[in-house]
Amino acid sequence: MADQAPSRALEAVLKGSSSLPEGTPQVKGYDFNQGVDHRALLQSYLTTGFQATSFGRAVQEINSMIEKRLEPLEQTEEPSAPPDLSQQHHSGCTIFLGYTSNLISSGVRESIRYLAQHNMVDVLVSTAGGVEEDLIKCLAPTFLGEFSLPGRELRGRGINRIGNLLVPNNNYCLFEDWLMPILDQMLLEQKTEGTLWTPSKMIHRLGKEINNPESVYYWAYKNNIPVFSPALTDGSLGDMMYLHSYKNPGLVLDIVEDIRKLNSHAVFARRTGMVILGGGLIKHHICNANFMRNGADFAVFVNTGQEFDGSDSGARPDEAVSWGKIRADATPVKVYADAALVFPLLVAETFARHAEALTAQNKKD
C-alpha cells in the first residue's frame, strides 16, 4: 500500500533487541551542575566510554596492585629470594614501572620522581635517554617550544628538539663535564677493587653522585630501587662512554648480571604488576621478565601504538597473554593515549590517593 512503509524497511529499522546481561553499566558522564569536583570528574571516566573508560579501568587495575602490595606476606609465604634482592619481596605485589626517555624529558619526570621518592614502586626500567635526561635536568633546564620549529634552523643554533621541547646542546656539554670524572673513578674501582659494573650499578652510582632531590635516580639510589636499562649505551651516556673509551679505555658494563637480577625480581615475587608508559625496549623488557613467572598478575599499558604492524610496542595486552607474559586470568588494561596527559592523572587517582598507607608500609619495612 502507498500509505505504508515497505515491510523490509520496517523490519530492518525496527528490529528488536535482546536483553543485555543484568548489571551492564550505563553510559554516563560528569554533570557540571554539581560544581567542579576534579576527583568526581575522573571517577566518572569509568562510565564515559572510549579511552575515558580505559582510563577508569587502569585506575582500578593499579589500585588492585597497590591493595596487594599493602598486604604483608606471612613468614611461610615469603618466596626464597636471593639475599641480594631488596625488601619489596616482603610485600604482596612487586610493581614494575617502565617509561621511555621522552617522558623524563617532559614534566612526567616529576610524577615518576614522586613515586621513587616515596618508594611506591619496586623496579624501574628505562632507556638510556630516560636516565641521562633526568641527570641533565639537574645541571640545566629543558624548555618548551613548538613541534613546528624547523630542524635546520635549530641545528644551526645548537638547539635539540624533542617534540615541542627544546634542549640546548650546551646541556650535553655540561653533562660531559660532570660525567667524565665519574667514569674515570668507575674504571679505577674496576681495576683496583675488582668492581664488576652493570648498567643498574652505574645508574645507582650516578644517582648518588648527582645528589639532587629533583632527580628520579637520586631517590632510586636513596631508596635502593633498582633501575634497569639494558641499552644504556643508546644515548648521550653511550656517546660519553664512547669518547671516554679513547681517553681512558677499559670500562666494562655486564648486562648478563642485570638480566638475572631483573628476572629474579619477577620470579621471586608473590605477585607482580606492570605499569608501562610507551613501548619498545622498556615494554618488552618488563614483560619478558614476567614471562619467567608465567605472567604478571596486573598490567596497565599507556601508549599510542597500534597492533596492525605486528610491533610489540603496539600490541594489546592479550598478545602478551598468549606468550605467558600476563596471566590468563588477569584483567589487563591498555589506554590509547599520550602518557604525558594521562599518567599524572593516574598517579593522582592511585599512588597519591594511597600515599599515607604506602609510606606507612615503607616505614614499617
pLDDT at 365 over 70: no
User: pTM for this one?
Assistant: 0.95
26 contacts: CB under 8 Å, gap ≥ 6: 47
Burial class (CB in 10 A: 0-12, 13-18, 19+), 71: middle
Predicted confidence at residue 75, as pLDDT, reads: 57
Asked if the model's pLDDT at residue 354 lies above 90, the reply is yes
Give tens-digit pLDDT for 90-109.
789 999 999 999 999 999 99
Q: Is the pLDDT of residue 320 over 70?
A: yes
**Burial category of 145 from C-beta neighbours within 10 Å (exposed 0-12, middle 13-18, buried 19 and up):** middle
**Please, which pLDDT band fits residue 363 given cuts at 50, 70 and 90?**
confident
Cell numbers given for 23? 548489571
Specify the amino acid at residue 140. Answer: A
**CB neighbourhood size of 296 (10 A):** 30
**What is the structure's pLDDT at 3?**
81
Residues 235-275 have pLDDT tens digits of 999 999 999 999 999 999 999 999 999 999 999 999 999 99
CB 232 within 8 Å of CB 258: no
Give the amino acid at 85.
L
Tell me, what's the pLDDT at 239?
Answer: 97
Query: Quick one: pLDDT band at residue 73, thresholds 50, 70, 90?
Result: confident
Average pLDDT, integer, range 1-5 = 78
The answer to whether 325 is a known catalytic residue is: yes
Q: Strands 333-336 and 298-303: what pairing?
A: parallel
Encode the chain in three state secondary structure. Answer: CCCCCCHHHHHHHCCCCCCCCCCCCCCCCCCHHHCCCHHHHHHHHHHCCHHHHHHHHHHHHHHHHHHHHCCECCCCCCCCCCCCCCHHHHECCEEEEEECHHHHHCCHHHHHHHHHHCCCCCEEEECHHHHHHHHHHCCCCCEECCCCCCHHHHHHHCEEEECCEEEECHHHHHHHHHHHHHHHHHHHHHHHHCCCCCHHHHHHHHHHHHCCCCCHHHHHHHCCCCEECCCCCCCHHHHHHHHHHHHCCCCCCCHHHHHHHHHHHHHCCCCEEEEEECCCHHHHHHHHHHHCCCCECEEEEEECCCCCCCCCCCCCHHHHHHHCCECCCCCCEEEECCHHHHHHHHHHHCCCCCHHHHHHHHHHC
Considering the candidates 68, 201, 261, 325, report the single residue annotated as catalytic. Answer: 325
Residues in CB range of 179: below 8 A, 6 or more apart: 206, 237, 240
How confident is residue 80, by pLDDT bands cut at 50, 70 and 90?
low
Region 275-302 average pLDDT: 98
Inter-residue contact 228 to 199 (CB < 8 Å): yes
Are 282 and 126 in contact by the 8 Å Cβ rule? The answer is yes
